[in-house]
Amino acid sequence: MSTPEHSPLGKHTVYADRYDPSLLFPIPRQAKRDDIGVQQPLPFHGVDIWNAYELSWLDMHGKPVAAVAEFHVPATSPNIIESKSFKLYLNGFAQEPLANAAALNALLQQDLSRAAGAPVMVYIREPRAARHVFADLEGESIDALPVAIDHYGPPRPDYLRADSNGSTVEEMLVSDLLRSNCPVTGQPDWGSVQIAYRGHALDREGLLRYLVSFRTHNEFHEQCVERIFVDLMQHCRPERLSVYARYTRRGGLDINPFRSSEAGLPANLRGARQ
């Protein structure tokens, strides 16, 4: 069964230290997409960017090798990969002898693509050669708005409004107050989110209240971002929209979903909290 309650989340785990692709646990995206009214063809383009900071294997002489990896899982893939299973899978290479990073890259791309149900791009780099740009999400923060808030879940899309009588604007708004919870363990997921759009000006106080209304909501990272995108499209009807969330890491992995009305990839930034 590929449902969260059947995943390794929240269960006692033996940490394997040899290669085992069966550890990967896919979860179909469509069940949650049905919940928010997303059907084929998808109303957005996008990618889930994963960064792994705890990747290591053995060379053919038994000496450990350390690396940093970046994974791009397309939003068109039928499955997400449950994060604890991803961590366990990567940890399984710790005592695995491999000829070189290219051999590892081939295995990762093969196994992750099979689990996701679509091609996953894999980039392995030496730790000191990792090309992360240390920068927070571009845009104007809305976190200092003097807003009284008393609702922390479930999400309230009715808070979202746009000034339909005003002129068209193009802007980026950001918040570091995004928080949701793992739907299996209840552990908090902390993130920053960027809303980039062209259209009638969003009501910023309403947007902030809406984002805070995820605070006790149980949903995976990818699902939260798709919900935000769909709610903004339905309630504010921008001409263009991108939603990009950068979540703090857990178990050496961070997940950064991006959904947009236009094709393209965001920069893989590394924020202050990552």
β-pair partners for 199: 169
Flag whether 124 is marked binding. Answer: no
Flag whether 228 is marked binding. Answer: no
Lookup: tokens for 249: 């890491």
Lookup: tokens for 204: 């910023």
Contact predicate 177/129, CB 8 Å: no
Pairing mode, strands 240-247 and 253-260: antiparallel
Flag whether 221 is marked binding. Answer: yes
In the chain, DSSP assigns E strands to 26-28, 45-58, 64-74, 79-81, 121-125, 133-134, 140-141, 168-181, 188-200, 240-247, 253-260, 269-270
Lookup: tokens for 93: 């290479």
Flag whether 84 is marked binding. Answer: yes
Lookup: tokens for 115: 């689990």
Contact predicate 16/88, CB 8 Å: yes
Residue 39: helix, strand or coil by DSSP?
coil
Flag whether 151 is marked binding. Answer: no
CA distance 263 to 76: 12
What's the CA angle centered on 108, arms 83 and 187, to 5 degrees? 5
Flag whether 262 is marked binding. Answer: no
Residue 228: helix, strand or coil by DSSP?
helix
Contact predicate 48/80, CB 8 Å: yes
Contact predicate 203/156, CB 8 Å: no
Flag whether 261 is marked binding. Answer: no
The residues that are catalytic are: 182, 189
Flag whether 82 is marked binding. Answer: yes
Name the binding residues for NADPH: 83-84, 250-251
Binding residues: 81-84, 221-222, 250-251
Binding residues for substrate: 81-83, 221-222
